[in-house]
Amino acid sequence: MKKILLTGTGGAPHVGALGVSFQAAEGDKLEFSPVVEGTPGINGLILYVDNIPKCVVNYSINEYTGTEAKYIDASTSKEYTINLTNKDILLST
């Protein structure tokens, strides 16, 4: 299945594709496989790298929980693979 790519604007969060919204610095990216149907819910996480908040991801389909996603930090060109969860994610470099 084709992956979805959302790009951060550096501004306020905006509704993204297929029940996922993404707020991050301008140029940051979130790539994930879509879930086209499922149980409605309110879920979200903040991704921290070295105690710095990098992005906020909210999703409204419960079946995204556990789904692998890739976050790309435009300022460092680093990629981080995460699993969507309904709690914050703390990573260290």
Q: In what order do the strands lie in the sheet with 68-73?
A: 4-7, 29-32, 68-73, 78-83
Q: Where are the domains of the chain?
A: 4-91
Q: Give the pLDDT of residue 12.
A: 79
> For 8-26, what is the mean pLDDT?
86
Beta bridge partners of 73: 78
> For 82-92, what is the mean pLDDT?
97
Q: Give the pLDDT of residue 1.
A: 72
Average pLDDT value over all residues in the chain = 94
Work out the pLDDT band at 13, boundaries 50, 70, 90.
confident
